[in-house]
Amino acid sequence: MNPEEFRRRGREAVDWVADYMERVEDFPVRSRVDPGETRSALPDEPPEDPESFGALLADLDETVLPGVTHWQSPNFFAYFPSNHSGPSILADLISSGLGVQGMLWSTSPACTELEMQVVEWLVGMLGLPDAFRFEHGGGGVIQHTASDASLCAIVAARERATGGEANERGAGAGGELVAYTSAQAHSSIEKGIKIAGIGRRNLRLVPVDDAFAMRPDALEEAIRDDLSAGRVPFFVTATVGTTSSLAVDPVAEVGSICREHDLWLHVDAAMAGTAALCPEHRGLHEGLELADSYVFNPHKWMLTNFDCSAFWVRDRRRLTGALSIDPEYLRNEASASGEVVDYRDWHVPLGRRFRALKLWFVIRHYGVEGLRRLVRRHVELARWLADRVGEDPRLELAAPVRLNLVCFRHVDGDEASRELLERLNASGELFLTHTELDGRYVLRLCVGQARTGRRHVEAAWERIARTAGELDAGRG
């Protein structure tokens, strides 16, 4: 494909995406295909001869779209959001066009320095501690996902606790390491603990309070038990905005326990972190000055296409010391000078795309105030919906309503809640998911899609109320 053809086909592809944006609301939100249906619509063998670009685009409509769940639909209220936006998509296209590998400063200085600058911007935008800034010995990096970032935090903490011995002699070096997080933490923490060789049995799931936040007294007790059994506590993850209910762990109290016992404190604010763009939500980050590392995902609620997870450490030498490699074939003068950041040492992969471009485009296109407006709109709509749920005698709120997530259930119990969710999703008009809180089945409705406005949330509520009514009638 020469540049001239690329220009022409590129316009067609951009038109296809723009058309998709215009019609995304018309599709059933959750895909309705059966397992194997998409695959069976594809040929068994790849084409020997070139096919036309037009045929490719046509197959997107016919074969791919039916198997797509429309995450960008304004009626998508499931999981947590995964926003895209025009400037972010276009920046990703440019990143692909440049096709650089930013593993070393010298393999594309702009890739590294633009990233350093946008993560510094984010420190100010979110009111994060200055300790995370490069000039204070910290620093930020864009990782694929929060899962990758948390794994890196665990590995850095493991090396700190073992004086680098785990890297040398294996994860068993330095005694039986123990990590802590709340019983409501995301599964990525358990995954990281397993990958880092700590062992799942050495991850303590600390009990939570009535609002599903970690209980510092229970954390303290668990640490003391492990110490008296001769084990080596080394790592705590606090969550700011848990996946099930957006509970916020008391970071300040957890942090002072970590300081007392010299444990690494990692803070996972995967989705909720974005809310700190608004000064009125900065309280979410209270105590963050005690954290050794912090992650949030612009690819969730900040109009930036997946993948883009922003991760900071207080002491970058701890991270790079744990992850650095230095083969002859990557040696170069700039790295040897010690004056540059080589991001290969900040995460698992060596190669890395020019992901900073999309953050740069998004922040400049919307301005910080534009991003704040998005958060405020979603928070206001979620509150409106929570009020409706609170007024309806057939439903009840299942957790304190924080930010943009409403957790609720049917008062008749799990079976009624499950049926309510199934009927709502089968309608195709909206998509919600569920969780379990206090051992009970709970519907989660998260308002976070870029295109979601008042009319979508009102329509969602109308559908929820109507379906709850139909359910009652059916049972009566």
> Are the beta carbons of 142 and 308 closer than 8 angstroms?
yes
Helix (H) or strand (E) holding 179, with range, is: strand 177-182
293: contact with ligand PLP by CB under 6 A: no
Is 160 within 8 Å of 134 (Cβ atoms)?
no
Q: Which is nearer to ligand PLP, 28 or 255 (CB)?
A: 255
Q: Which is nearer to ligand PLP, 213 or 340 (CB)?
A: 213
72 contacts ligand PLP (rule: CB under 6 A): no
**Interface with ligand PLP (CB under 6 A), residue from 193, 213, 271, 398:** 271
Beta carbon nearer to ligand PLP, 162 or 309: 309
Does 297 contact ligand PLP by CB under 6 A?
yes
Pairing of strands 203-206, 232-239: unpaired
- Kindly state whether residue 309 participates in binding ligand PLP, applying the rule CB under 6 A: yes
212 belongs to the binding site for ligand PLP (CB under 6 A): no
For ligand PLP, the closer CB: 242 or 467: 242
Closest to ligand PLP by CB, 28 vs 448, is: 448
Contact residue for ligand PLP among 123, 146, 381, 457 (CB under 6 A): 146
Q: Is 262 helix (H, G, I), strand (E, B) or coil?
A: coil
CB of 141 to ligand PLP, least distance (A): 14
Between CA 175 and CA 12 the distance in angstroms is 59
Report the residue from 145, 182, 202, 449 that binds ligand PLP according to the rule CB under 6 A: 145
Alpha carbons 37 and 407: distance in angstroms, whole number: 33
For ligand PLP, the closer CB: 80 or 441: 80
Q: Which stretch binds ligand PLP (CB under 6 A): 9-17, 237-245, 431-439, 441-449?
A: 237-245
For ligand PLP, the closer CB: 219 or 471: 219
Q: By rule CB under 6 A, what count of residues binds ligand PLP?
A: 14
Q: Which of 239, 320, 449, 467 binds ligand PLP (CB under 6 A)?
A: 239
Bridge-based pairing state of the strands 309-313 and 139-143: antiparallel
Burial class (CB in 10 A: 0-12, 13-18, 19+), 311: buried
Long-range contacts of 435-438 (CB under 8 A, 24+ apart): 435/243, 435/244, 435/245, 435/407, 436/244, 437/212, 437/244, 437/245, 437/398, 437/399, 437/407, 438/398
Residue 268 within binding range of ligand PLP, rule CB under 6 A: yes
Q: Amino acid letter at 397?
A: L
Instruction: Give the nearest distance from C-beta 281 to ligand PLP in angstroms.
Output: 16
Tokens of 388: 């409706």
Cβ(231)–Cβ(176) below 8 Å: yes
Query: Which of 157, 203, 270, 442 forms a contact with ligand PLP (CB under 6 A)?
Result: 270
> Applying CB under 6 A, which of residues 27, 76, 80, 461 lies at the interface with ligand PLP?
80
Spatial contact of 342 and 238, defined as CB atoms under 8 Å apart: no
Near ligand PLP by CB under 6 A, which window of 97-105, 141-149, 337-345, 388-396?
A: 141-149
Contact between 186 and ligand PLP by CB under 6 A: the answer reads yes
Nearest Cα to 359, choosing from 91, 116, 150?
Answer: 91
Cis peptide bond N-terminal to 307, omega within 30? yes
Using CB under 6 A as the binding rule, the residues of this chain from 386 to 425 that contact ligand PLP are: none
> Is 101 buried (19+), middle (13-18) or exposed (0-12) by CB count in 10 A?
middle
Nearer to ligand PLP, 28 or 241 (CB): 241
Which residues here bind ligand PLP, judged by CB under 6 A?
80, 145-147, 186, 188, 239, 242-243, 268, 270-271, 297, 309
